[in-house]
């Protein structure tokens, strides 16, 4: 159980932060940027949830996602470099990815197939979901850049999770737009 008695520690006053592994890194380190963007995604999900009073089943899914995003941040802040830990680090699991896939299929089952790309918008919930989608895509780009670096491990399950997550947000945005009936369609070249 996490216990936070004091919020400020002053240990980051010189521009560094401590990873879950105990290593100190610059606050602008790519790993910190990556899990910070995951946290940003989680904050947007909090905004989405404010708009889901009429969609309690989707709100329950969002609650699971918020918890998963903290798990993902914990996984990213504790890179597995083969060292031993005094505790078992929290890791994203394949079952979390599978649950997202099942939820995507469930939400997508009653949607009409797309005949055009859609623009972010429609309902407030949908607009926030598209924002969550784009920020989660940014976290995925950062995560894959981090994974491509030497001695900066990122599990494939983390990458799979965030990849499915952006797909989930896209489908959920359509559901939040009256099952896709209020999607804002892209009209190629409309303003030429």
pLDDT tens-place string over residues 116-136:
899 999 999 999 999 999 999
pTM (2 d.p.): 0.93
Report whether pLDDT(178) > 90. yes
Round to whole Å and give the CA distance between 69 and 38. Answer: 7
130 or 79: which carries more pLDDT confidence? 130
- pLDDT band at residue 107 using 50, 70 and 90 as cut-offs: very high
Q: Domain spans of the chain?
A: 16-79+89-185
- Residues 5-15 have pLDDT tens digits of 667 677 677 78
| Cβ 135 vs Cβ 123: under 8 Å | no
- At 80, the pLDDT band (50, 70, 90 cuts) reads confident
pLDDT at 62: 98
| Domain 16-79+89-185 classification at class level | mainly alpha
């Amino acid at each position: 159980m996490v216990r936070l008695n004091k919020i400020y520690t002053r240990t980051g006053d010189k521009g560094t932060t401590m990873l879950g592994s105990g290593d100190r890194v610059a606050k602008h380190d790519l790993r910190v940027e990556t899990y910070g963007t995951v946290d940003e995604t989680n904050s947007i999900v909090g905004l989405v949830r404010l708009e889901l009073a009429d969609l309690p089943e989707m709100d329950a899914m969002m609650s699971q996602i918020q918890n998963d995003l903290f798990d993902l941040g914990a996984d990213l802040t504790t890179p597995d470099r083969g060292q031993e830990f005094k505790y078992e680090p929290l890791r994203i699991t394949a079952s979390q990815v599978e649950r997202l896939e099942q939820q995507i299929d469930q939400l997508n089952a009653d949607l009409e197939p797309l005949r055009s790309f859609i623009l972010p918008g429609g309902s407030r919930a949908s607009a926030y979901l598209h924002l969550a989608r784009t920020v989660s895509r940014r976290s995925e780009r950062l995560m894959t850049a981090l994974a491509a670096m030497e001695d900066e491990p990122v599990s494939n399950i983390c990458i799979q999770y965030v990849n499915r997550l952006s797909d989930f947000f896209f489908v959920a945005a359509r559901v939040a737009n009256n099952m896709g009936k209020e999607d804002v369609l892209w009209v190629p070249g409309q303003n030429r």
